[in-house]
């Protein structure tokens, strides 16, 4: 979510003569006589609303396959999505009548956008491109069909071709994580358990990570005494900020894209009847997990129907935003109470995503779950805004190592996926492979179940 971020491009060009980042990068992949893992990885994420491209440079080390994985965020920033690609992409998603030619070109254009973001990120923060060992890019979700009806095929389309990114940057790139998950029988989302579980596992506390982006999703982590990361469950709750963001764009003619600090919602009166009716009738909100969703179910068309319903009842713009915001908060509580038998035993809820900064949502959650402490994910040392970019950085590491990642036990299948994406080799591919094979002496690697944040990242201020 690159809100308020400014570009630092130099007349549209990026210099390849860039100084090293101050906290220690190198010109090549490190090799250790004992086969120690040592990788610097850029994770990229562009969310449903295309607010911006999240970029995280993460340093991963691991002494042996059985040792805890250590990580440190070296730099995080958000690069704005250029209007030349944002407007046509969102228009295409709204209208859903694109041609094969347009889709093919868009795949290349989005790949170029992500490569530009890497270059701009490195230029802005004086990071030498050759110091980066790997890129993990989520891509731009175009369509995510996770719950196919009769005659449909489960599938995912996240554009931004990895070969374009690796070709432009020279860095090995891993993409298409969702399609890889679907290939082994899962839905391809939410893809949060890997990072959430490793950050939040606790010996005795029951924890839940609640993300509120365009879509809201959760990850429930029991204490180690009750299974810990081996007993995690996750799913997409339903609408996050999609509805309220759409209302803000509608009422401001696109000048405001979200309800900053919940100011509009706080000025309005909630129409509880509209909230209750939507949550009672919406098929997805009442569907049993595992489940995942996106713009296909909770997009602009569905948002406009709710906006129109509010206006037909004579509600103000503030009332409308307040009502759509409450749908998000009340549905989250509905998901807990309906599908989490231990909802009343949650000790801590760790919040992340843009919606975590909306006081109206947080206040409602506290009222409904007074027994649970509500905390910011930033307290783990990983800023909540950076979490998804960091997650894709780590998933790229797991793919390169051929190491199966954690799988929530409520997934359609718990079949391990040892290559969690598509790999586009870069200029130092053989060096990268040499380290990957040396780590563990070429043997199959155990799944990581413990991660240590070496240094909390406190530089990022949204």
pLDDT tens, 409-461? 999 999 888 898 999 999 999 999 999 999 999 999 999 999 999 999 999 98
Cα–Cα dist 318/231, whole Å:
42
Residues with Cβ < 8 Å from 194, sequence gap 6 or more? 391, 394, 395, 398, 405, 406
Cα–Cα dist 141/154, whole Å:
15
pLDDT at 22: 39
For residues 393-403, average pLDDT? 97
User: Environment class of residue 30 by beta-carbon count within 10 Å: exposed (0-12), middle (13-18) or buried (19+)?
Assistant: middle
Counting every residue written for the chain, the total comes to 462
pLDDT at 430: 96
Structure tokens given for 368: 């409904």
For residues 181-198, average pLDDT? 90
The CATH code for residues 193-380 is 3.30.420.40
Question: Strand ranges (DSSP E) for 192-347?
Answer: 207-212, 215-221, 233-239
pLDDT at 32: 53
Q: What angle do CA 307, 234, 398 make, to 5 degrees?
A: 120
CATH 3.30.420.40 domain locations along the chain: 37-187+420-453, 193-380
For residues 306-311, average pLDDT? 98
Residues with Cβ < 8 Å from 22, sequence gap 6 or more? 126
pLDDT at 117: 97
Residues with Cβ < 8 Å from 275, sequence gap 6 or more? 323, 326, 327, 330
Range with lowest mean pLDDT among 77-91, 206-220, 228-242, 278-292: 77-91
37-187+420-453 falls under which CATH superfamily? ATPase, nucleotide binding domain (3.30.420.40)
Instruction: Output the CA torsion 96→99→105→108 (10° steps).
Output: 50
The interaxial angle of helices 162-169 and 100-124, nearest 10 deg, is 40
Q: What angle do CA 40, 195, 461 make, to 5 degrees?
A: 75
pLDDT at 34: 64
């Amino acid at each position: 979510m690159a809100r308020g971020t400014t570009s630092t491009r130099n007349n549209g060009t990026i210099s390849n003569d860039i100084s090293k980042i101050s906290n220690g990068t190198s010109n090549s992949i490190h090799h250790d006589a004992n086969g120690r893992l040592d990788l610097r990885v850029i994770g990229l994420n562009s969310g449903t609303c295309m607010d911006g491209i999240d970029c995280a440079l993460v340093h991963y080390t691991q002494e042996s396959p059985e040792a805890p994985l250590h990580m440190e965020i070296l730099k995080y920033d958000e690069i704005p999505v250029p209007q030349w690609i944002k407007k046509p992409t969102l228009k295409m998603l709204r209208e859903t009548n694109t041609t094969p030619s347009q889709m093919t070109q868009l795949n290349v254009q989005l790949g170029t956008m992500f490569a530009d973001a890497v270059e701009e990120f490195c230029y802005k923060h004086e990071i030498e491109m050759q110091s980066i060992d790997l890129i993990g890019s989520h891509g731009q979700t175009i369509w995510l069909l996770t719950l196919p009806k009769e005659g449909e095929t489960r599938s995912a389309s996240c554009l931004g071709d990895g070969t374009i990114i690796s070709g432009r940057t020279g860095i090995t790139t891993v993409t298409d994580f969702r399609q890889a998950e679907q290939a082994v029988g899962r839905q391809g989302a939410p893809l949060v358990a890997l990072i959430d579980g490793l950050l939040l596992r606790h010996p005795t506390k029951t924890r839940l990570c609640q993300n509120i982006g365009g879509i809201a999703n959760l990850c429930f982590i029991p204490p180690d005494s009750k299974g810990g990361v081996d007993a995690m469950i996750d799913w997409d709750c339903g609408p996050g900020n999609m509805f309220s963001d759409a209302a803000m764009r509608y009422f401001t003619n696109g000048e405001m894209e979200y309800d900053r600090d919940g100011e509009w919602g706080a000025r309005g009166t909630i129409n509880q009847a509209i909230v209750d009716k939507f949550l009672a009738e919406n098929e997805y909100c009442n569907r049993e997990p595992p489940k995942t969703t996106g713009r296909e179910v909770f997009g602009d068309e569905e948002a406009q129907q709710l906006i129109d319903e509010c206006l037909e009842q004579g509600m103000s713009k503030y009332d409308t935003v307040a009502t759509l915001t409450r749908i998000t908060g009340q549905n989250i509580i509905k998901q807990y109470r309906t599908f989490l038998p231990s909802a009343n035993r949650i000790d801590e809820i760790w919040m992340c995503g843009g919606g975590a900064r909306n006081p109206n949502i947080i206040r409602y959650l506290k009222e409904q779950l007074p027994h649970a402490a509500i905390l910011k994910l930033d307290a783990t040392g990983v800023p909540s805004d950076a979490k998804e970019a960091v997650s894709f950085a780590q998933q790229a590491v797991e793919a390169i190592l051929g190491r199966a990642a954690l799988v929530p036990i409520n997934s359609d299948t718990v079949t391990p996926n040892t290559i969690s994406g598509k790999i586009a080799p870069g200029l130092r591919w053989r060096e990268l492979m040499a380290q990957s094979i040396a780590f563990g002496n070429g043997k199959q690697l155990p799944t990581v179940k413990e991660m240590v944040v070496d240094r909390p990242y406190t530089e990022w201020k949204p």
